[in-house]
């Protein structure tokens, strides 16, 4: 039987309905088998992740600032919000899922639709290959948090990048130009959260695989996003990677705490920029 810790991580970050489009209707028993667990294990993990997400959202909602902002969100009734991204967004505890929970709990009158198309481990090239699927969803708001996996380096922090900066920019430019089909649709960029380079270097899987990430690469990628006049939300401002509990033990993935801080940053930016 798979350990709960491993199953928790797999279920938390892997969205099979996005990486395996034919898996849309798989039941809990089948999904559990894909992850190497049994149905009871899988159900308990999902329920615990749902509980954690709701707790984070409930804590955020107690903030007078967030509570006020939730009453002034810029979304039209019935709008469709779509997110594309990597593990930070695919996460069942992600900023996007927390935003969904906040809105469903405190602004049900908006009747918003949320679709999370993020795929853990995806590069911008892989995201670009999903362009037809993104277009079919016809988003009114598209949130894009991509590029961190492009910044993966091999063998050493100075080794070759998985995707060159030129290709990253080209992929994101094409996504921005072609993903939206509605003339009034809005595009929102989220830049990467910071990482802990020392913990990444010590993490057994990354060390054994010879892969790494640096904040310099992530910052450079964010600086070159083809943002134009779009809203840009600074993921690095959500929380310091040095803050206790901000990152998972791998030094790369945001904790539920940082995801909550990022969700708060998204809500504040949406309202304060008056979109």
Assign residue 187 a region (left: φ > 0; alpha: ψ between -120 and 50; beta: otherwise).
beta
Nearest 10 degrees: Cα torsion 46, 51, 57, 61: 160
Q: What are phi and psi of 214, to 5 degrees?
A: -130, 150
Q: Helix or strand or coil: residue 204?
A: helix
Q: How, if at all, do strands 211-212 and 153-154 pair?
A: antiparallel
Cβ contacts of 37 within 8 Å, gap of 6 or more: 1, 2, 7, 45
- The topology (CATH level 3) of 53-272 is Rossmann fold (3.40.50)
Q: What are phi and psi of 135, to 5 degrees?
A: -65, -40
Quote the pLDDT of residue 239. Answer: 63
Segments in the chain forming alpha helices (H): 4-13, 16-19, 28-35, 39-61, 64-70, 87-90, 95-106, 124-129, 131-137, 165-178, 197-202, 204-209, 215-223, 256-272
Per domain, the residue ranges of the chain are: 53-272
Could you say which residues of the chain have pLDDT below 50? Answer: none
Quote the pLDDT of residue 274. Answer: 61
For the stretch 110-135, pLDDT in tens is: 999 999 999 999 999 999 999 999 99
Quote the pLDDT of residue 27. Answer: 81
For the stretch 16-45, pLDDT in tens is: 777 776 666 778 888 778 788 788 888 898
Separation CA 249–CA 195 (nearest Å): 11
Quote the pLDDT of residue 119. Answer: 96
Separation CA 13–CA 97 (nearest Å): 12
Q: Helix or strand or coil: residue 144?
A: strand
Separation CA 31–CA 45 (nearest Å): 12
Quote the pLDDT of residue 131. Answer: 96
Quote the pLDDT of residue 41. Answer: 87
- The model's pTM is 0.94
**Whole-number CA gyration radius for the chain:** 18
Three-state SS for 24-87 is CCCCHHHHHHHHCCCHHHHHHHHHHHHHHHHHHHHHHHCCHHHHHHHCCCCCCCCCEEEEEECH
The sign of the CA dihedral 169, 134, 239, 49 is negative
């Amino acid at each position: 039987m798979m350990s709960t810790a491993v199953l928790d991580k797999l279920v938390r970050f892997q969205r099979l309905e996005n990486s395996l489009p034919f898996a849309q209707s798989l039941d809990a028993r089948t999904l559990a088998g894909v992850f190497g667990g049994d149905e009871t294990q899988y159900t308990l993990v999902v329920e615990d992740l749902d509980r954690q997400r709701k707790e984070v959202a409930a804590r955020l909602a107690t903030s007078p600032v967030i509570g006020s902002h939730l009453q002034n969100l810029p979304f039209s009734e019935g709008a469709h919000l779509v997110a594309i991204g990597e593990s930070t967004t695919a996460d069942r505890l992600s900023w996007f899922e927390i935003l969904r929970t906040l809105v469903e709990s405190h602004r049900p009158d908006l009747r918003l639709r949320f679709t999370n198309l993020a795929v853990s481990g995806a590069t911008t090239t892989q995201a670009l290959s999903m362009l037809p699927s993104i277009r079919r969803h016809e988003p009114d708001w598209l949130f894009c948090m991509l590029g961190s996996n492009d910044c993966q380096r091999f063998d050493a922090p100075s080794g070759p990048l998985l995707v060159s900066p030129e290709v990253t920019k080209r992929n994101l430019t094409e996504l921005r130009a072609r993903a939206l089909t509605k003339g009034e649709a809005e595009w929102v960029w989220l830049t990467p959260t910071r990482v802990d380079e020392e913990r990444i270097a010590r993490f057994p899987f990354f060390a054994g695989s010879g892969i790494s990430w640096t904040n310099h690469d992530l910052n450079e990628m964010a600086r070159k996003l083809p943002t134009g006049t779009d809203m840009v939300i600074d993921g690095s401002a959500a929380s310091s990677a040095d803050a206790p509990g901000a990152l998972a033990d791998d030094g790369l993935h945001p904790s539920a705490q940082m995801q909550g801080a990022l969700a708060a940053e998204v809500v504040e930016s949406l309202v304060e920029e008056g979109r």
